[in-house]
Structure 1
Amino acid sequence: MAKIFISFFNGISDFENSNAIPCFYESLFFELKKAGNEILYYDNRSWAQDFPKAPKVFINKLRLFNPDLIIIFNNCCFDLSKEFFCPIIIWEVDSPLYFSNIKNIQENPNRYIYILAQTSSLKVTEEMFNPKKSLIHYLPFSTSVVAEDIQIKNNIVFIGTKFNSNNIISNFMATDPDENEINKFKQILKYVEENPFINENEIIDKFKVKSNKIKNHLIMKELIENLSSKNRIQTLSIISSLGLAIYGTKNWIEDLPNELEIILSYKNKLVYSLKHNQNLYNSSKIGININHIQAKTGFSWRVCDIMASNACLVTEFKQDMKQLFPKIKIPTYKNKYEAYEVCRKLLKEDNLRREIVLSCQEIINKKFRFSFRLKDLEQITNIKFFNKALGSIKRIDYYPVIEPFEDFKIMVLKDKNTNLQFKSRVKLIIYLILLIINQIPVINKFFIDRDTIIFNIKTIINGGQISKILILAKKSNKLLKHKIYKQFNFISFVKKIFKNKNKIKVKFISKINLILYSLFIIVKQVFYIFISLFN
């Protein structure tokens, strides 16, 4: 019996089920338990964010468990590399670009085993972390979905998120760029869509960017989110007339007031579990896959789920598919128009669709069940996973409960522990003062534009990593009962205040809130400058 600790980001909130987790992790846990292993897991709400030093309470609970193996998806957990001596696997879900605590990995890259879900990530991992090549392994996704003959309810189904909303492009346009700047920004967006692993400095060099308006809006994660969101929206919108059902987060309808086809295709039903996914795919003629743009050669775990069901997979073509499914004629598309034509043809030709479905099910059963991945893990880690013991699945009993006074202390003391330098604190104070002045009517029209000030504040805060202020989300008894927390940072706070981001029309009370919050941060910085002078 192996004791395995697993940590991952969990964006699911089901008030009827406090243990709700995504289908992929549920399937992995079930297979590990079935093989006779003890699973302790930590599902957190921090996606692509750095974690602070591991709390002693957390470490002590994990030491009691005494893991033989630690698996961290996207490195989404506290740094455990110096606390435990067992193997630690960093398992890619989205992309190495979205790993948490990247600097910690770079400091000791050979401490980890890297499991990657697409071949293009092999080179990215080598370049980002430079570990021994023997520590890097490519393992495609697997599934526990099974085919069932149930009533068909949907022509086409898509299960997934719209990706997070941001206003990086509209903020760029709000700076009043000239035609040359707009055209160069368009060229950059096109290039990023084809080369999502490029960084800001490489873009500046390649396109010889001199404009600060462009430089200030070269925030790769936000650009990638926008481009990925664009692809999903455009593809789903054009195929909606064929009978589309969209399941996922509510921002499908909240962020897209003018996308009527998307709104009318959205189904307001929570879908996350193995059973949910299995039922939806088996009751649909087509299951469509639209990747995020970081999936350069690979694909989402959604692909294997669809292939295992009675739905016919329609997906963007990815090079890894050619390697993994060489003999299967999976219907693919290169753009939204091809997606429409492929779906339209398959809906008309039942026999062709059924032939593809059967061939997909066959290859999944032969090579892409979780039992095969456990055998791969045995070879990689030299840990035996298959035994006759009785397995178990438990959630680590750890929640960052914050009392009201502790909540205030964290907001005040968070900066001190991140070693923000003296000059950075002074700069932050200056820009916060400018932001306050910017709220005064008339003056703001002749002053530095708000977006430039906010960008500079964001740069300073991100540089010192002081923007992560943990607060207890006391919205309802249900939230408290299920111990759900939210993370906010200063920039998201500012952006919420500016509801109309292209026009400076903010209610008086919002201006007052922003000024008070800015003053609070200024007082903090002055306090720590004072402390640093006497230490």
Structure 2
Amino acid sequence: MSRVLLSFPSPIYLNGKFHSTCFYEGFINALQEEGNELMVINTYSFLHQSIHNQQFKFPPYIDKEKMVADVKRFNPELVITFNHSIPLEVEEACNCPITIWDVDSFDFLCGKDHIGANLDKYIYIELGRASSKKLIAFGAPAEKVHVVRSATAIQAEKKPFLRNIAFIGNPFYGPQSMVGLLTEPRKDVFIEASKVFAKNFYTNIEDVLSAEDLKILAKYMHPAEFKGISSGQNRITTLNDLSDLGLTVWGPSTWLSLAPYLPQLAMAYEKKPVFSLQHNQDVYNSSKIGISISHAQAADGYPWRVMDIMASNGCMLSDYHSGIDDLTKGYVKLPMFHSHIEARELAAKILKDEAWRQDLVAGSQACIEATSRWHHRFKELEHITGISLLAISKSKKTKPQPTPVIHIERKNYLASSYTIYYLLIKMAARCLPSFIKGMIYKIMNKNGIYFDSHIIRSIRG
């Protein structure tokens, strides 16, 4: 049992604040149940980090001195930062092991320049072998890079089935700038390159595109965006083929933009927010099938949703990943698809054969209970970090009383200049054309003047 600082980017914005996704909520709850003391930072409230913007320091209207003082007072014994999304000032205030847990891929790590200059400083956790190899090639010491599976806090609950198939997630739309790229004289080069990355996201882009072509690509999008463009097509095509089998989709309202082109899929969209642990648990337990369709970056690994579905009373159906076969070996042989056509065939077969569906669910649940609860991962993390995370006794009678989580709330760290800053940005956002706003934003960033995702979302409304 230790003092742990958790820092992660969770983009769910509702009722004027950012909320933790199911994955982070389950992770936090499990650490707390083991008696650990937790300080939690959702970096979307303080930073604006994206594939294009690797902001790593607080905006000027955040009272960094106050937060650093609070972090030092907490005195963490371990820092776990997902995707290295953590304010630099907070990281530098911590005198303890710092673990970077990569839950997307190397391409999406924040502050890679800083990591590259301090490679020996961190312990690295990767979800799959492909991403770990990429990190080692970047220069991370191999002995400090560890492959650790995800886990789940979802519990099976007996509920009436309300639908045949459930999907929770976003559409993985590619950038709109793809239109411009396809008007380039050398578009055939990029078309062929896209086929390479559709097969292996982790192929080095420099091995596929020339320096000249990379300059052309940079005018339109980040290389990681280009490498992942097959993801949206795979996800949307697969779900469209399932839309008449009793599918319901949850996620951002951008799903509705498909309505003119794929009306049946758009009609499957349910606007109700689904992001918390309980939300996800309710959906998967009331669905005969929970489907997972991965981003291209999930090569030998797989999304954390796979384990969430497996833990529920819904039957897990996923695109193929060798990591799922490795996980379930000896427990269950789960059906997996290699194409949208095969996905439809398997879904229809599962829905017609309730006995088989129940066998798959029972085997999946047995696998999760034996291998994939968070206490299984904490034991691995203890060995890797040398920091105690598990309660001394696993007996429910002697389980420690959970200590309240310290949530770093944005409202407690706003400097007096915030109101003026906010009004100026809001005025500029409403009055200036988009291209001018983009220019100003880049100039501000280059001069070390940042603003966070909260201010952007609140202005958008």
TM-score of the alignment, normalized to the shorter chain, above 0.5 = yes
| Amino acid of the structure 1 residue aligned with 2:402 | G
Q: Structure 2: how far apart are the matches of 1:293 and 1:229?
A: 9
1:405 shift after superposition: 3.4
1:140 aligns with 2:149: yes
Deviation per CA, 1:469-489: give whole Å up to 9, x if none: 4179xxxxxxxxxxx43279x
Quick check: 1:287–1:311 contact (8 Å CA) kept in 2?
yes
Residue by residue over 1:148-206, the C-alpha shift from the partner in whole angstroms, topping out at 9 and shown as x without a partner, is: 11100110000111235521211223xx434xx2322211111122232345433323x
Q: Provide structure 2 residue ranges, at least 5 long, that are not aligned to the other structure.
A: 59-63, 392-398, 427-431
Q: Answer with 131-140 or 288-297: which moved more.
A: 131-140
Measured against aligned partners, the alpha-carbon deviations of 1:274-331 in whole angstroms (never above 9, x if no partner) come to 1111111111111100011011111111000000111111101112122222232111
Give the structure 2 partner of residue 396 of structure 1. Answer: 408
What residue number does 2:126 align with?
Answer: 116
Q: Give the secondary structure class of the aligned counterpart of 1:231.
A: helix
Matching residue's letter, 1:38: E
- 1:297–1:319 contact (8 Å) kept in structure 2: yes
Cα distance change, pair 112–373 in 1 and its aligned pair in 2 (3 A): same
Cα distance, 1:210–1:9 mapped onto 2, change above 3 Å: closer
Q: Secondary structure of 1:204's partner?
A: coil
Q: Which of 177, 182, 191 is matched with 1:186 structurally?
A: 191
| Aligned mates of 1:355, 1:338 — CA distance in 2 | 20
Contact 1:67 1:86 (C-alpha < 8 Å) held by counterparts: yes
Query: Of the candidates 158, 173, 176, which is equivalent to residue 167 of structure 2?
Result: 158
Q: Check 1:408–1:20 CA distance in 2 against 1; reply closer, same or farther (3 A cut).
A: closer
Shift in alpha-carbon separation, 1:163–1:57, aligned structure 2, 3 A: farther
1:219–1:203 CA distance, 2 compared to 1 (3 A): farther
Give distance in 2, aligned partners of 1:229 and 1:30: 32
In the other structure, the counterpart of 2:300 is 297
> Would the alpha carbon gap of residues 213 and 471 (structure 1) be closer, same or farther in structure 2, given more than 3 Å must change?
closer
Structure 1 CA distance for aligned equivalents of residues 123 and 135 of structure 2: 11
Deviation at 1:145, TM superposition (A): 1.1
User: Is the 1:200–1:218 Cα contact (8 Å) retained in structure 2?
Assistant: no
Tell which deviates more after alignment, 190-199 or 25-34: 190-199
> Which residue of the other structure, out of 416, 420, 434, is the alignment partner of 1:405?
420
Contact 1:469 1:487 in 2 (8 A): no
CA RMSD in angstroms comes to: 3.2
Contact 1:204 1:215 survives alignment (8 Å):
no
Larger RCO: Structure 1 or Structure 2 (Cα < 8 Å, ≥ 6 residues apart)? 2
1:462 & 1:293 partners in 2: Cα distance? 33
Distance (whole Å) between structure 1 residues aligned to residue 214 and residue 65 of structure 2: 47
* Segment of structure 1 superposing worse, 313-322 or 398-407: 398-407
1:240, 1:261 within 8 Å by CA — same for their partners in 2?
Answer: yes
Structure index of larger Rg: 1
For residues 214 and 35 of structure 2, the distance between their equivalents in structure 1, rounded to whole angstroms, comes to: 59
Give runs of aligned pairs for residues 14-93 of structure 1, distance below 5 A: 14-15=14-15, 20-45=19-44, 46-48=48-50, 49-53=53-57, 55-79=64-88, 80-93=90-103
Match of 1:107 in 2: 117
CA spacing shift, 1:237–1:255, aligned 2, 3 Å: closer
Q: Which piece of structure 1 moves more, 351-360 or 77-86?
A: 77-86
- Write the letter of the residue equivalent to 2:33: K
Partner of 1:312 in structure 2? Answer: 315
Structure 2 counterpart of 1:235, which letter?
T
Specify the SS of the correspondent of 1:145. coil
Distance 1:349 1:469 in 2: 55
| Residue ranges of structure 1 left out of the alignment (5+ in a row) | 412-435, 440-449, 473-483, 494-535
CA distance in 1, matches of 2:448, 2:342: 43
Residue pair 2:11, 2:19 contacting (<8 A) in 1 also: no
Per the alignment, residue 261 of structure 2 pairs with: 258
Counterpart of 2:240 (choices 232, 237, 244) is: 237
The answer (yes or no) to whether the contact 2:18–2:42 under 8 Å persists in 1 is no
Going from structure 1 to structure 2, the CA distance change for 1:247 and 1:139 (only over 3 Å counts) comes to same
Counting aligned pairs with the same residue, the percent is: 28
The CA deviation at 1:214 is: 5.3
Counterpart of 2:116 in structure 1: which amino acid?
Q
Q: Distance in 2 between matches of 1:158 and 1:376?
A: 30
| Structure-1-length-normalised TM-score | 0.74
Structure 1 residue matching 2:146: 3-state secondary structure: strand
SS in 2 for 1:131: coil
- In structure 2, the CA distance between the partners of 1:345 and 1:188, relative to structure 1 (3 Å rule), is same
C-alpha separation between the residues in 2 aligned to 1:118 and 1:407?
41
Report the secondary structure of 2:123's partner residue: strand
| Residue number among 360, 379, 382 corresponding to 1:356 in the alignment | 360
Larger mean Cα displacement after TM superposition, 145-154 or 48-57: 48-57
1:329 aligns with 2:330: no
The change in CA–CA distance for 1:406 and 1:182 in structure 2 (over 3 A counts) is closer
| DSSP-derived class of the 1:470 partner | coil
Equivalent position to 2:369, from 342, 361, 365: 365
The equivalent of 1:426 in structure 2 is: none
CA pair 463-90 structure 1, distance change in 2 beyond 3 A: farther
The amino acid of 2:383's aligned partner reads: Q
- CA shift in 2, pair 1:10/1:81, >3 Å: closer
Q: Could you tell me the TM-score, scaled by structure 2's length?
A: 0.85
Superposed CA offset, 1:108-139 (max 9, x none): 111111111112111011012x2222211111
The answer to whether the 8 Å contact 2:43/2:87 transfers is no
